[in-house]
Amino acid sequence: MSQLSALLLVTLFSSMIASIPISADCINTSAKPENCSEKTQACPEAVNPTINDLARIKTEILENVEIRNKGYAAKAAEVPDDVNYGKQWGLAKVQASQAWNLSHGSSVIKIAILDSGIDSSHPELASKITVNKNFTESNTTEDKYGHGTFVAGIAAAETNNKLGIAGMGYNVSLMNVKVLGDNGGGSYAWIIRGIIWAADNGANVINLSMGGDIDSKDMQEAVDYAWSKGVVIVAASGNNGNSKPYYPAYYNRCIAVAATDQNDCRYSFSDFGSWVSVAAPGCSFSTMPGNSYETMGGTSMASPYVAGLAGLAFTMAKDNNDDGKRNDEIFDAILKGCDDVGVSGIGCGRINAYRTMSILYKSRITVPANLL
Ligand SMILES: [Ca+2]
Ligand SMILES: [Ca+2]
Ligand SMILES: [Ca+2]
């Protein structure tokens, strides 16, 4: 452990991953109207597929469909049959089922959940976990705190299995990287080691539903390292209700995720500011240890929507700039795919999974000149 890391105490994290009291049905009564009165900051060329675009894509696809899709198998698009899907307002808000019409994701894509562990026997998660790794002082990779299991369910609970909930990432897999102890706290050192390990061990996406107020060069460089390996890194913007930088979300290569409600207002607990990248639904019904489920709110719950989308996006994205990686294309498509919901301090807006997947889908297609 470096000297810097040793100075950063476990208690730094304890308050940040606590859930926020919200009514059992996620209805937000605390958001003030002024949270919804300003304009989202300008973002690079927000793309909304037009009717003409879609007509052009269709024509192009129909001309080339057999040759381009030789050997591909597909399932009919459907609304998942998970019993509590109707409670998952956040998935409807980000147009998840429309995104799933484009791809259900793949088990070869892995989202590393850096958190308090994941309950490996939860029927919604057991088949999804590809590896368990522990960087904490706990003697188990199991989740004794509940936070990691909850986050994992939002990102990629087993979907369309009639049970529980649907996960944003549908078929994508999970890596359980325990970097928070059994009391929900963790040191920067554990998290930094976890980021590097996940990047070296095949993670496509890293979810960090955690953070602290202290800027750490080691943390930033770990994020940069993971980015250089092609990983999409997603982090919670924090639950302090202010605009002070929060790390690692603040770092350039992290997608910083704020929390919005069922009306696309920012939850008053959610951090905001010019360094925030996007917002996502900040209250969910999700998995808890012991084959159970709960409703919890916080930016910790928003981040895994984005991580799940990033996982899904890996099955669609193409390396358009030939740099050998696809995290750059996915990062851009998540930001550009956002809906401008007229809220300041939440970056490009609230994520829209369908628009992000549509952007990536379109980017796969080389449109013949005579159709442009
Ligand atoms: Ca399920
Ligand atoms: Ca950032
Ligand atoms: Ca690229």
Per-residue pLDDT of the chain (372 residues; tens, 9 = 90+): 333 333 333 334 433 455 565 666 666 655 444 444 444 444 544 444 455 666 766 777 777 777 666 555 544 446 899 999 999 999 999 999 999 999 999 999 999 999 999 999 999 999 999 999 999 999 999 999 999 999 999 999 999 999 999 999 999 999 999 999 999 999 999 999 999 999 999 999 999 999 999 999 999 999 999 999 999 999 999 999 999 999 999 999 999 999 999 999 999 999 999 999 999 999 999 999 999 999 999 999 999 999 999 999 999 999 999 999 999 999 999 999 999 999 999 999 999 999 999 999 988 876 666 665
Instruction: Give the neighbor-by-neighbor strand order of the sheet with 278-281.
Output: 129-134, 173-178, 110-115, 205-208, 232-236, 254-260, 278-281
Q: Are 292 and 154 in contact (CB under 8 A)?
A: no
**How far is the CA of 273 from the CAs of 215, 237, 242, 258, in angstroms?**
17, 9, 8, 9
Task: Please tell me what DSSP assigns to residue 121.
Answer: T
**What letters, b where the CB count within 10 A reaches 16 and e where it falls short, cover 212-251?**
beeebebbbebbbbbbebbbbbbbbbbbbeeeebbbbbbb
Q: Are 314 and 205 in contact (CB under 8 A)?
A: yes
Q: One of 187, 300, 303, 358 is an active-site residue; which one? A: 300
Find the 308 Cα to ligand 3 centroid distance in Å.
19
pLDDT at 336: 94
pLDDT at 38: 43
* C-alpha of 341 from chain center: 19
Catalytic residue status for 122? no
pLDDT at 46: 42
Q: Are 301 and 151 in contact (CB under 8 A)?
A: yes
Q: One of 82, 116, 119, 147 is an active-site residue; which one? A: 147
Residues 6+ apart with CB under 8 A from 253: 223, 224, 226, 227, 233
Find the 72 Cα to ligand 3 centroid distance in Å.
24
Find the 159 Cα to ligand 1 centroid distance in Å.
4
The overall longest dimension of the chain from CA atoms, in Å, is 63
Helices 299-313, 353-364: inter-axial angle, 10-degree rounding = 20
Q: Are 280 and 337 in contact (CB under 8 A)?
A: no
Find the 331 Cα to ligand 3 centroid distance in Å.
10
Protein residues near ligand 1, an ion, with CB under 5 A? 82, 158, 161, 163-164
Catalytic residue status for 104? no
Task: Please tell me what DSSP assigns to residue 350.
Answer: B
The first and second tokens of residue 23, run together, are 């009514």
Assign domain 36-64+84-371 to its CATH architecture. 3-Layer(aba) Sandwich (3.40)
Q: Are 105 and 172 in contact (CB under 8 A)?
A: yes
Q: Among candidates 180, 110, 175, which has minimal Cα distance to 145?
A: 180
360: enclosing H helix or E strand: helix 353-364
204/220 Cα distance (integer angstroms): 18
Could you tell me which residues are beta bridge partners of residue 293? 287
- Looking at all shown ligands, the one closest to residue 164's CA atom is 1
Find the 85 Cα to ligand 1 centroid distance in Å.
8
**How far is the CA of 151 from the CAs of 213, 236, 328, in angstroms?**
21, 11, 24
230/248 Cα distance (integer angstroms): 17
- Looking at all shown ligands, the one closest to residue 324's CA atom is 3
- Looking at all shown ligands, the one closest to residue 230's CA atom is 3
249/239 Cα distance (integer angstroms): 12
Find the 171 Cα to ligand 1 centroid distance in Å.
11
Q: Are 141 and 132 in contact (CB under 8 A)?
A: yes
- Looking at all shown ligands, the one closest to residue 285's CA atom is 1
The first and second tokens of residue 24, run together, are 């059992």
| Segments in 157-266 forming alpha helices (H) | 188-200, 217-228
Find the 150 Cα to ligand 1 centroid distance in Å.
13
The first and second tokens of residue 58, run together, are 């269709």
Task: Please tell me what DSSP assigns to residue 306.
Answer: H
Task: Please tell me what DSSP assigns to residue 208.
Answer: E
- Looking at all shown ligands, the one closest to residue 223's CA atom is 2
Q: Are 360 and 317 in contact (CB under 8 A)?
A: yes
Find the 254 Cα to ligand 2 centroid distance in Å.
4
Find the 125 Cα to ligand 1 centroid distance in Å.
9
Catalytic residue status for 147? yes
- Looking at all shown ligands, the one closest to residue 233's CA atom is 2
How many other CB atoms are there within 10 angstroms of residue 348's CB atom? 22
Q: One of 82, 103, 104, 115 is an active-site residue; which one? A: 115
Find the 168 Cα to ligand 1 centroid distance in Å.
11
